[in-house]
Amino acid sequence: MDFSDSMFSIAKQCFPKATIVIDCFHIVQRLCEGLEEMRLRFKRLAVTESRKEAAAFAQNEDRKAKQ
């Protein structure tokens, strides 16, 4: 069974004594989606930090050039 709430409700209603088992495909799919979301979040953070550092470096170089 997949993770959808509607499927869970239907299964519980139609088969009240059944043991609900989540299939491995959907577990791995959710795991991969979560990892991808984290990867993109860290990538955006790294790009932002890199841009800040580059701007600070450029500003420092401009100050040195004016002296």
The pLDDT tens digits for 27-45 are: 899 999 999 999 999 999 9
In a domain, 9, yes or no: no
Span 7-13, average pLDDT: 90
Give this prediction's pTM.
0.60
Q: Which residue carries 């004594």 as its tokens?
A: 17
Residue 26 has pLDDT above 90, yes or no: no
Domain count, the chain: 1
Full domain range(s) for residue 31 = 24-67
Per-residue pLDDT at 7: 87
Per-residue pLDDT at 56: 96
User: Within the chain, what is the greatest distance between any pair of CA atoms?
Assistant: 81
In a domain, 2, yes or no: no
In a domain, 16, yes or no: no
